[in-house]
Amino acid sequence: MRVLILGGDGYLGWPTAMDFAAAGHECCVADNYLRRHIAEATDSEALMVAPSLTERAQIFRAASGYHIDVRIGDLSDPEVMFEIVRDFSPDTIIHYAEQPSAPYSMRGFREAQETFQNNLNVTFNCIWAVKDLVPDCQIVKLGTMGEYGTPNIDIEEGWIEIEHKGRKDTFLFPRAAGSLYHTTKVLDTDLLWFYVRTYGLRVTDLMQGPVYGISTEEADLDPRLCPHFHYDDIFGTLVNRFLVQAVAGVPLTVYGGGGQTRGYLNLRDTLQCVRLAAGNPAKRGELRIFNQLTEIFTVNEVAERVKTVGDKMGLDVAIKSIPNPRKEKEEHYYNPTHSGLRELGLIPHYMTDDVVAATLERIIANKDRIVTGRIMPRVRWN
Amino acid sequence: MRVLILGGDGYLGWPTAMDFAAAGHECCVADNYLRRHIAEATDSEALMVAPSLTERAQIFRAASGYHIDVRIGDLSDPEVMFEIVRDFSPDTIIHYAEQPSAPYSMRGFREAQETFQNNLNVTFNCIWAVKDLVPDCQIVKLGTMGEYGTPNIDIEEGWIEIEHKGRKDTFLFPRAAGSLYHTTKVLDTDLLWFYVRTYGLRVTDLMQGPVYGISTEEADLDPRLCPHFHYDDIFGTLVNRFLVQAVAGVPLTVYGGGGQTRGYLNLRDTLQCVRLAAGNPAKRGELRIFNQLTEIFTVNEVAERVKTVGDKMGLDVAIKSIPNPRKEKEEHYYNPTHSGLRELGLIPHYMTDDVVAATLERIIANKDRIVTGRIMPRVRWN
């Protein structure tokens, strides 16, 4: 396959690129370092320093022998998107190129506008580049389980048959997200679905839960290949943030009641899922949706899990509820279906004590790099 | 009320402004003439020449004594939006400021991008201007019945309770539109709903069917106050286009089978509906949705109606099916609820033979201005 990874510098984009390259695919990453710039501007830098994409590609080549093509450019500019797609001529595009922080998107007008315009314009340009230049190319788009919000009914995989007043039809599953960032992904899905059914594009939209972890086959080849590992309130996902707090001796900050329930997955499973989706493309005119998660936990369960393992390692972990900076239900029904990727062959890496301990060890080795001022929430929804 | 009308130069925006002003409200219109510029660029100008907004406001003042404040500016630029909202300090915003042509939005990348960015950015800026400057101000947003598409179930007014596997919840009614223009309104609704539930904005989203007509109380005061009356394939709505074709001796062009069914309304009823919605504001934190239509017809029924009246007037009207330039179902179930605005007091002006005849008379008086080259479809969906 000729795989173009949009957002190839990201927490998921970079290990995905190495994973595809190591599997023998022609691989190109495109990014404009938006996330790095936002991290600098908001004092939210990752735990380990990452070399530039060009340098990482060189390090990866030296360590593994595999080549990754690197393009630096702003994909929200249609000229940049069209030039890269024309030049690389992919048969598979993995689209990660979105501003991924919910708190950042809720910080104020400027940040909301930046998120809204970047995310929607990249998706729009991607659709048009495929439609006009490589119409048979599949798009694998990273959505989020957050698109669905927390409805009081079972969450199906993207679609639902509704019976209403004696008649039936099938529709996109209802969506109601909890931040502007998540809402941009709802709009992405609407936009993709319009162009899929109108022009016969082939799209897989992956509704992914919060990802945790730092280790992948390729990332472990050299510490400089490590994905951006964020523990701050802006980019840090829940599990990663708790793990760093455990090491730093900062009580695990549970937002509000801690009953918020989500479906999580290991970084290694993100790579598996994306590779499975790309290896089994959607048909022309199909918007295929998978719910991408392996285990369901409440925030309190995640905190307890980290505490149990951390305490065994002598970290003496405390847990502390703080006022919830977000607007979200803290007790709710949550039952998402997630069988599609299992049926394609996904073998989950669960959040075992060993997995938690191994990640804690990596963080302990970088303990002196932790800046505790980045941990507490700096953005409120209201 | 202090009523700010975004898109106040449009087919609906201008008569709405006169209607509110004549009812004694403080009224301000904002527009950047986008529709006029697109009409020029695509050879799709309206039947009658309209003076500038400033001139029309002067003519209206001379004819009626009522003042309309005019601001010319691009509302997709947040600085323009914020300045106007700060300066006028509305308690009601009527948001019409969108590129309204489905065919234009399907013409190519540039037109799609222009539609996408204009429509989404105006809505985004409007939301933020209200949230940050006048949080108690209501927004009355013009959506479209086209957001729903043609589902195989009854169309409710914006919301639907879904019972699924023994549990229940209420969601936005599913949406699947037939053009990029209509899809931008789906995205508008998603975006409005996010900000309404997060920040307690008060919004009424009016799902309007195709509008027809040229006559309103105020527009009839002076021919120069006439709304833009389009009969071209780009901006002309179905009924208006058929009426001009009848006068021009061009067979009424039914796209495909003509079984396409939609809910129509008279321009006078658009004004009534918007005034009823604004006079009975949504509550804080409420996204209230009404389906804005008064009668349901197939395309063939509209054609027959125009032919019947036209023939009586000696026009000798022919009807001719042409290959459908759009991608849409030509036979489908269609049963939209539309009781909300009736309950608020809407008294419909139906498409009677007299109404059709009166509009034909107005067109006959301008017959020499008809450019028949603007009538046939110049944009195909594929």
Strand A92-95 relative to strand A138-144, pairing? parallel
* Chain B contact for A112 (CB, 8 A cutoff): yes
Query: Which of chain A's residues have a Cβ under 8 Å away from the Cβ of B171?
Result: 151, 174, 176
For B194, which of A109, A174, A183 is closest by C-beta distance? A183
**pLDDT of amino acid B174:** 98
What is the tens place of the pLDDT at every residue in B173-209? 999 999 999 999 999 999 999 999 999 999 999 999 9
| Both structure tokens of B4 | 């700010």
d(CA B345, CA B339) in angstroms, rounded, equals 10
Kindly report the backbone phi and psi dihedral angles of residue A340, in degrees, each rounded to the nearest multiple of 5, phi listed first: -60, -45
d(CA B264, CA B234) in angstroms, rounded, equals 18
Question: Do A333 and B162 count as a contact with CB atoms less than 8 A apart?
Answer: no
Q: Which amino acid is at B312?
A: K
Report yes or no: A320 and A252 within 8 Å, Cβ to Cβ: yes
What is the tens place of the pLDDT at every residue in A166-210? 999 999 999 999 999 999 999 999 999 999 999 999 999 999 999
Report yes or no: B376 and B233 within 8 Å, Cβ to Cβ: yes
Mean pLDDT, range A204-230, rounded to an integer = 97
Q: B153: which DSSP letter?
A: S
Q: Which amino acid is at A370?
A: I
CA-nearest residue to B129 within chain A is: A109
| Both structure tokens of A204 | 């897989």
B86, B193, B198: best mutation site toward chain A, by most A Cβ within 10 Å? Answer: B198
Report yes or no: A14 and A226 within 8 Å, Cβ to Cβ: no
* Chain A contact for B372 (CB, 8 A cutoff): no
Question: Do A168 and B174 count as a contact with CB atoms less than 8 A apart?
Answer: no
CA of B358, closest CA in chain A: separation in Å?
39
Q: Which amino acid is at A184?
A: T
Report yes or no: B48 and B54 within 8 Å, Cβ to Cβ: no
Question: Do B164 and A160 count as a contact with CB atoms less than 8 A apart?
Answer: yes
| Both structure tokens of A5 | 């990874």
Report yes or no: A219 and B208 within 8 Å, Cβ to Cβ: no
* Chain A contact for B200 (CB, 8 A cutoff): no
Q: DSSP 3-state assignment of B151?
A: coil
| A283 belongs to the catalytic site | no
Please name the residue ranges forming H helices in chain A.
13-22, 34-41, 53-64, 78-88, 102-105, 109-133, 180-199, 238-248, 267-279, 299-312, 340-344, 353-364
Report yes or no: A153 and A174 within 8 Å, Cβ to Cβ: no
Mean pLDDT, range A221-249, rounded to an integer = 97
For A191, which of B167, B183, B194 is closest by C-beta distance? B183
Report yes or no: A261 and A329 within 8 Å, Cβ to Cβ: no
Q: Is the pLDDT of residue A162 over 90?
A: yes
* Chain A contact for B283 (CB, 8 A cutoff): no
* Chain A contact for B133 (CB, 8 A cutoff): no
Within a 13 Å sphere around the CA of B152, how many CA atoms are in the beta-carbon half? Answer: 9
Query: Which of chain A's residues have a Cβ under 8 Å away from the Cβ of B190?
Result: 175, 183, 186-187, 190
What is the tens place of the pLDDT at every residue in A6-36? 999 999 999 999 999 999 999 999 999 999 9
CA of B56, closest CA in chain A: separation in Å?
35
Place of tokens 């006022």: A323
What is the tens place of the pLDDT at every residue in B89-118? 999 999 999 999 999 999 999 999 999 999
What is the tens place of the pLDDT at every residue in A247-300? 999 999 999 999 999 999 999 999 999 999 999 999 999 999 999 999 999 999
**pLDDT of amino acid B16:** 98
Count CB atoms within 10 A of the CB of residue A41. Answer: 11
Output the 3-class SS for B44-99.
Answer: CCCCCCCCCHHHHHHHHHHHHCCCCEEEECCCCCHHHHHHHHHHHCCCEEEECCCC
Query: Which of chain A's residues have a Cβ under 8 Å away from the Cβ of B160?
Result: 162, 164
Query: Which of chain B's residues have a Cβ under 8 Å away from the Cβ of A193?
Result: 176
The angle at the Cα of B38, spanning B237 to B193, to the nearest 5 degrees, equals 70
DSSP-derived secondary structure for B177-227: -SSHHHHHHHHHHHHHHHHHHHH--EEEEEEE--EE----TTGGG-GGGPP
Question: Do B191 and A183 count as a contact with CB atoms less than 8 A apart?
Answer: yes
* Chain A contact for B33 (CB, 8 A cutoff): no
| Both structure tokens of A23 | 């599997």
Within a 13 Å sphere around the CA of B360, how many CA atoms are in the beta-carbon half? Answer: 27
Question: Do B381 and A177 count as a contact with CB atoms less than 8 A apart?
Answer: no
Strand B211-212 relative to strand B252-255, pairing? unpaired
Q: Select from B81, B82, B191, B100 the least CA-distant residue to A116.
A: B191
Question: Do B183 and A176 count as a contact with CB atoms less than 8 A apart?
Answer: no
* Chain B contact for A153 (CB, 8 A cutoff): yes
**pLDDT of amino acid A382:** 83
What is the tens place of the pLDDT at every residue in A60-82? 999 999 999 999 999 999 999 99
**pLDDT of amino acid B382:** 83
Q: Is the pLDDT of residue B240 over 90?
A: yes
Residue A311: band (very low, low, confident or very high) from pLDDT cuts 50, 70, 90? very high
**pLDDT of amino acid A368:** 97
Question: Do A162 and B165 count as a contact with CB atoms less than 8 A apart?
Answer: no
The angle at the Cα of A287, spanning B160 to A71, to the nearest 5 degrees, equals 125
Q: Select from A235, A16, A281, A35 the least CA-distant residue to A138.
A: A281
CA of A187, closest CA in chain B: separation in Å?
6
Average pLDDT over chain B, rounded to whole?
Answer: 98
* Residues sharing a CB contact under 8 Å with residue A155, sequence separation 6 or more, in sequence order: A145, A148, A173, A291, A334, A335, A336, A337
**pLDDT of amino acid A57:** 98
| Both structure tokens of A353 | 């004590």
Within a 13 Å sphere around the CA of B137, how many CA atoms are in the beta-carbon half? Answer: 28
| Both structure tokens of B364 | 């006959």
DSSP-derived secondary structure for A257-288: TS--EEEEEEHHHHHHHHHHHHHSPPPTT-EE
* Chain B contact for A257 (CB, 8 A cutoff): no
Mean pLDDT, range B164-170, rounded to an integer = 98
Q: Select from B224, B320, B206 the least CA-distant residue to B263.
A: B206
Q: DSSP 3-state assignment of B229?
A: coil
Q: Which amino acid is at A149?
A: G
CA-CA-CA-CA torsion sign (B128, B129, B135, B140): negative
> What is the separation, in whole angstroms, between the first and last Cα of chain B?
46
CA of A26, closest CA in chain B: separation in Å?
29
Count CB atoms within 10 A of the CB of residue A3. Answer: 28
Mean pLDDT, range B126-155, rounded to an integer = 98
What is the tens place of the pLDDT at every residue in B256-265? 999 999 999 9
What is the tens place of the pLDDT at every residue in B292-304? 999 999 999 999 9
Residue A163: band (very low, low, confident or very high) from pLDDT cuts 50, 70, 90? very high
**pLDDT of amino acid A306:** 98
d(CA A47, CA A359) in angstroms, rounded, equals 13
Kindly report the backbone phi and psi dihedral angles of residue A259, in degrees, each rounded to the nearest multiple of 5, phi listed first: -85, 0
* Chain A contact for B112 (CB, 8 A cutoff): yes
* Chain A contact for B154 (CB, 8 A cutoff): yes
Mean pLDDT, range A355-365, rounded to an integer = 98
CA of B272, closest CA in chain A: separation in Å?
31
What is the tens place of the pLDDT at every residue in B283-338? 999 999 999 999 999 999 999 999 999 999 999 999 999 999 999 999 999 999 99
For A177, which of B117, B128, B194 is closest by C-beta distance? B194
Q: Is the pLDDT of residue B84 over 90?
A: yes
Query: Which of chain B's residues have a Cβ under 8 Å away from the Cβ of A105?
Result: none
For A169, which of B152, B177, B199 is closest by C-beta distance? B152
* Residues sharing a CB contact under 8 Å with residue A24, sequence separation 6 or more, in sequence order: none
d(CA A298, CA A261) in angstroms, rounded, equals 4
For A153, which of B117, B169, B193 is closest by C-beta distance? B169
What is the tens place of the pLDDT at every residue in B243-252? 999 999 999 9
Catalytically active residues of B, by annotation: 144, 181, 185
* Chain A contact for B185 (CB, 8 A cutoff): no
CA of B261, closest CA in chain A: separation in Å?
18
CA-nearest residue to A160 within chain B is: B164
**pLDDT of amino acid A83:** 98
CA of A144, closest CA in chain B: separation in Å?
16
Question: What whole-number percentage of chain A has pLDDT above 70?
Answer: 100
Q: Select from A218, A204, A208 the least CA-distant residue to A18.
A: A218
Q: Is the pLDDT of residue B33 over 90?
A: yes
